[in-house]
Amino acid sequence: MSDKLALITGASSGIGYWLANELGSRGYDLIVSSAGERLNEAGRDFQGLGVQVTEISADLATREGVKELWDAVDRLGRPLDVACINAGVGVGGLFWETSLDEELNMVELNCSGTVQLAKYVLKQMVPLNAGKILFTASIAGEMVAPREAVYAATKAFVLSFAHSVRYELRETNITVTALQPGPTNTDFFHRAGMDNTEVGQKGKEESQPQDVARQGIDALFAGDDHVYAASAKTKMEGMLANVVPGSMKGPMHEKMARPKTEK
């Protein structure tokens, strides 16, 4: 057993998987959570890193699921050194055509679940005056994002939340970092119904999840407020995000997110 413990949500695949892998490689015991069927397989991979792994299956789009996760963490009787609040989903398409149920579920997971879990984590960390939190936001949170309108809004929420909580904690030894990936080579776009788009077919190939995770954890340990990860294109877009007007950002995003069957 290590003397260091990390919690990672959405850890069965994608960026979350590699966040857990990165922390395990650095000697952290892991608590990994997901609602997916791949959690057991991922857990076996992490055990191969020589650390203790606790798997907790929970639906973090529900208040009950978040509470179930935290109760399981609490029963371990060990304080968290790191919390990676990463679980999230996307929904692609024109807002008036997309599923309201899917988008409300996304808001519950990406926003409400993030707030609830962060509350539990900080209630533990603040009395100890120690800990690090990584929130997975997105470069989309600073974009005009047609065909991902609600997704981008949820990530703008996460980004603002992370920055504000970081400021509140400025006189403590607790740090908060926002991870802002661009399109990344995971199954995110498939699950969002965006396979038949430029970003879903080619754009994501420019950034690999293991690189995003490594840069995110490096930024977390450096105490940075945020990091654009991982491709050079994402970093450049991040630098220009608050300079380029929305009238230009909107068409750029729509070109990537429009189905190729549409003209």
Among all residues, which ones are annotated catalytic? 151
**Phi-psi map region of 17: left, alpha, beta (phi>0 left; psi -120 to 50 alpha):** alpha
Whole-angstrom distance, CA of residue 80 vs CA of residue 13: 22
The answer to whether the bond into 230 is cis (omega within 30° of 0) is: yes
Q: Give the amino acid at 13.
A: S
Q: Is 230 in contact with 181 (CB distance < 8 Å)?
A: yes
Q: Are strands 82-85 and 53-57 parallel, antiparallel or unpaired?
A: unpaired
Whole-angstrom distance, CA of residue 30 vs CA of residue 82: 10
